[in-house]
Structure 1
Amino acid sequence: MPLQFADRLNNVETSAIRELFKLLGKPGIISFAGGFPDSAMFDVEGIREASNAALSQDPGAALQYGATEGYGPLRDQLAQFMRQKGAKDVASDQLIVTTGSQQALDLIGKTMISPGDKVIVEGPTFLATIQCFRLYGAELISAPVDGHGVKTDDLEKLIAAHKPKFVYLIPTFGNPSGALLSAERRKQVLEMAVKHQTLIVEDDPYGDLYFGEAPPPSLLALSSTVPGSRELLVHCGSLSKVLSPGLRVGWMIAPAELLARATMCKQFSDAHTSTFAQATAAQYLLAGRMPATLDKVRAVYAQRAQIMGDALRRELGDAVEFVQPQGGLFVWARLTGAGGKVNDGNVYAKRAIEQGVAFVPGTPFFCANPDHATFRLSFATVGEDKILEGVERLAKAV
C-alpha cells in the first residue's frame, strides 16, 4: 500500500540548491554555490574555552533539559548583544532562543499562516523561507527589489492591495540579493506597518558582516522612532554566520502574544534548543570575544568580495551586471546577453559546471515571476587564488 503523505507537501519541492550540491563531487570543482561561512574563520579556541567554562561552572544546567524559551544566561547575553546594536529596550523576556533562525521562521509559519493566507516576500528572497511558508499553505506575493533593497513604493501598493498576514524582509545584505535597505526605506517600512497595521518580519542573519561603514540600524532598533511599530515587528537573529552554524543558536524577538504561541509550538517540535550549545554560546558572549571575531571575519570577507567583484568586471565585462556587496556573503549578478552571450542563469550554471565551477542560478529564489538571467555567487568559503581561477572559468562558460 503506497504511503499517503500530507497534502501540504504538494506545495513544496526539494531545494534546487541541495540538488546542485550533488554535482559538486566532481574533482577540481571550484564552488561559489554555498551559502555558509568559512570554517577557517571559526574561533575554535574561543568556543573550546566557552564549552569548558559551561561544563565547569554549571554542568548540570548545561547538560540537563531546559526551558523552552531558552537558557537564562544566554537570553541575558543576547538581549545585551541586541542593545549594543541599537535596540536599546530589548529585555531577555522579549526573546526566545531558537534552533537557528531557520526555526524562528518555521515557528512564524506555524503560528501565523493558515492555508490561503497571503504573505509578501522580496523577489528574490531566501529559498528556505519560500519553502517553509508554502509548506503551511501561504500564497506568496513577490515585492521587487533593487540595489537598495525592497522598493517601498511597490511594497506599499502590494500591502494595500493584498492585505497580507505579514511581510518578510531581509533588510541587511539579503540572501541572495546582498542588497542593503537604505535608512530612508527602513523608516518607510515601519511607517507603512503602522499605517496598514501589517506585521513585518525582519530576518537579520548577516547584519554584523559589514565591510567598511556599519549599515543603518535594524528595523528593530529604528522602531523606537516610529510610534506603534514595535508591536508590529518580529526580529530574527542568528549566531550561525558570525560564530558557528553548528551551534544552531538563533533567536526571535516578537510581540508577547506571538512569542507565547511560538514557545508553545516549539515545545511540540524540540522541547528546547540544545542547552549545551546555549551554555557554550552564553559563555562565549560573556567572555567578550565576539568583537575581535567579527573584526577578523569582516576583513577577510571584504577582501574576498572585492577580489571577486574586480575579477567579474575584468573577466566578464558587459556580459554581467551586479552591485558590489557592502557586506554579507553573496554577489547577486545578472546576465545581460551582451554580444549574443548566454542570458539564462540555468543554462549558464550547466555550462559553468562543465568548466569546473559551480554557482546557484537565480530562478529558485523567486516565489513568482523569476528573473532567469540572475545567479548567486558566494565568496565566503573560497580563497583569493581560487576566486580568481573560478572567475576565469566563468568567463569561458559565458
Structure 2
Amino acid sequence: MKFVLHKESNTPIYQQIYVQIVQRIQGGLMTNGEQLPSLRALADELDVSMLTVRKAYKWLETKGYVFVQAGKGVFIRGKKQTAQQLTDPYGWQHSLAVNVVRSQYLINRQKKYYDFSQAVVYPRLLPTQFLANEMQKMLEKNRMMLATYGPVQGDEELRIEMAKYLKAHQGLTVNPSNLLITSGVQQGIDLIAQTLLKPGDTVIVESPCYGAAVDVFVNKGMKLLPIELDEQGIRPDLLEDVCQKEKPVLLYVNPSFHNPTGTLMSEQRRRELLELAELYHFFIIEDDSFGDIYFDQNIPPNPLKRFDKNGHVIYLKGFSKTLAPGLRVAGMFAEGPVFDWLYAVKAFMDIGSPLITQKAVLPFLRTDRMVIHLEKLRTALQIRRDTTVEIISSLTEGVTFQIPQGGFNLWLALPDFIDPHALLEQAKEDNVSFLPGPACFVQQPENPYIRVSYSLLSDQDLQIGLQKLCKVILQAGTT
C-alpha cells in the first residue's frame, strides 16, 4: 500500500493513516478479509512509531472497519475469503504501490435505475439528435477528419466562437490565443495539477469539495488543506489564516452553484479571493461547470477571472454537462507564461482533443441555439429541483438542506447516527443510488451528508426514486 503522509500537517499521523485506509475500503481498493501489514512492517515503511500505527488500527477496529485475529493479524471486516479468493491469480497486485488512493467513481461503479449519484442531465433534455446530425454532415463532407490529429490548442474556429460566447454571457474579454480546449473540465483540472504541482505542494480546496478534484490532488501526492464554506462560499478569513502559515501553490474553487452544496459565491467574496491570490502569489482554478444553470433569475456574478489583472486565475468552462457529456468539450482560459506551460503538458498528454467533437459544438455557439437550449434546460431542471425539495422536505426528523439557486445537486445533512455508506448499501437494494458525503471531503467529516443529483432522471422516475430514498432514510432512522 502507498500512503501519502504530511508530517507538518495539523492532522495527526495516525488519523491520516486511518483516513486513507478507510478511503481504500470505501472505494473498493481493499477487499473483505484482506490482511493489513503488521504494526512493525507499516511503521518501518512509513518511518513512524509502532504506537502511531497501533492507534490507527485501533480506530479502524473501533469504527468496525477491521477485526483482529490473535496471533494472525488485522483484517478488513467482512466475510471469510473463499477458496477462489485465496487462489486469486491477481492477488499479487495488492502488494504493489498503487498511486490511486481514492476515487469517488468507485463508490457507484454498478449503476442503479434510480440514479442520484451522477451530476448529469437527463438525455432527452439534451440536443443529442441535432449534434449527431451535425457530426454526420461533417463526416460526409470531410472523412479525413478522422485520419488527423486535432490541434494541441484546440480547433481555432471553436476557440473564436467560445471567446465570443464568454464575452456575451460571462463578461470575459478573451483572446482566442489564450484558450486551450480540453476533454472536459476534469482533464483541465488534471492538466493544471500536472503542470503546476509537485508532490508535497500545498493545495487549498473547499470543504466539502467536488470529489473528483480532490481525487486528482490526493493521487498526485499533494498536501490538501480544506477550508469550510458559509452561505457565500469559501471563507476568506480562514483562507488568509492558512496563507500566513503555509505557502499554497493553488486554490480550487467551484463558485457558481458549487458542487456538491449548490452554494453561489457572492461577487464580494470573489474579489476577496483574488486579493488574497495577489497578496500571497498563488493560482486559482475557477471551475465554472454549472454557472449557466441558474433558477429564479439568480444570475451568478461575473467570474473571478473577470477581475483578474495579473494571471492568477485559470478559468475552466465546461460545455459537456449542458450539451452532451459524450462530447467532453471544455475551454481553459489562462494568461502569461502559465499558458505556454499548460500547452506543452497538453501536447504530451494527448496530442490534442478529438476534432470532430469540437466541430460539433460550433453550430450551437454560432447561432442562438445555445441560448434557447439553456433557457429550456434551466426551466426543466428548476422543476426537478422543486420536486426534489418538496419530496425531501417530508423528512422532518434531522434532515436539513439549503434550497440551491442553480446547478444539479441537493446537499443533505443527515442525523448523526446514520452512516452514509451503510445507507447507500441499503438504498442499492431498492435500486437507488446517491453520492455519500465523505467522497466530497479530504478527511472524514464530523457529520453525515449525502449528495442527491436531481438532473439525471425523468420526471416520473425522479418522483418514484425520491420516495424510495426517503423510505430508506426513514428506515435507517428507526433501526
Q: Please report the TM-score for the alignment, with normalisation by the length of structure 1.
A: 0.89
1:221 maps onto 2:306 in alignment: yes
Equivalences for residues 1-398 of structure 1 within 5 A: 9-10=98-99, 12-13=101-102, 15-22=103-110, 24=111, 29-52=113-136, 54-55=138-139, 60=144, 64-213=148-297, 214-223=299-308, 228=309, 230-313=310-393, 315-337=394-416, 342-398=417-473
Q: Please give the alpha-carbon distance, in whole angstroms, between the structure 2 residues aligned to 1:5 and 1:234.
A: 38
Q: Please give the alpha-carbon distance, in whole angstroms, between the structure 2 residues aligned to 1:344 and 1:234.
A: 37
The secondary structure found in structure 1 opposite 2:107 is helix
Max Rg structure: 2
Higher-RCO chain (CA-CA 8 Å, sequence separation at least 6)? 1
**CA offsets, 1:132-152, max 9 Å, x none?**
122222111101013332122
Letter in 2 for 1:157: D
Q: Please give the alpha-carbon distance, in whole angstroms, between the structure 1 residues aligned to 2:246 and 2:359.
A: 43
Q: CA deviation at 1:349?
A: 2.0
Letter in 2 for 1:392: Q
Q: Percent identity?
A: 28
Q: Please give the alpha-carbon distance, in whole angstroms, between the structure 1 residues aligned to 2:172 and 2:118.
A: 34
The secondary structure found in structure 2 opposite 1:368 is coil
**Cα contact 2:413–2:450 (8 A) shared by 1:** yes
- Describe the shift of the 1:236–1:348 C-alpha distance in structure 2 as closer, same or farther (beyond 3 A): same
- Describe the shift of the 1:20–1:58 C-alpha distance in structure 2 as closer, same or farther (beyond 3 A): closer
Q: CA deviation at 1:157?
A: 1.6
**CA offsets, 1:154-173, max 9 Å, x none?**
12222222221110000011
- Describe the shift of the 1:5–1:270 C-alpha distance in structure 2 as closer, same or farther (beyond 3 A): farther
Q: CA deviation at 1:55?
A: 4.2
Q: Please give the alpha-carbon distance, in whole angstroms, between the structure 1 residues aligned to 2:107 and 2:418.
A: 22
Which runs of no fewer than 5 residues in structure 1 stay unpaired?
A: none
**Cα contact 2:158–2:359 (8 A) shared by 1:** yes
Q: CA deviation at 1:82?
A: 0.9
**Cα contact 2:179–2:334 (8 A) shared by 1:** yes
**CA offsets, 1:84-112, max 9 Å, x none?**
12334211001100111111111111111
- Describe the shift of the 1:84–1:347 C-alpha distance in structure 2 as closer, same or farther (beyond 3 A): same
RMSD: 2.3
**Cα contact 2:128–2:324 (8 A) shared by 1:** no
Q: Please give the alpha-carbon distance, in whole angstroms, between the structure 2 residues aligned to 1:57 and 1:78.
A: 23
Q: CA deviation at 1:52?
A: 4.6
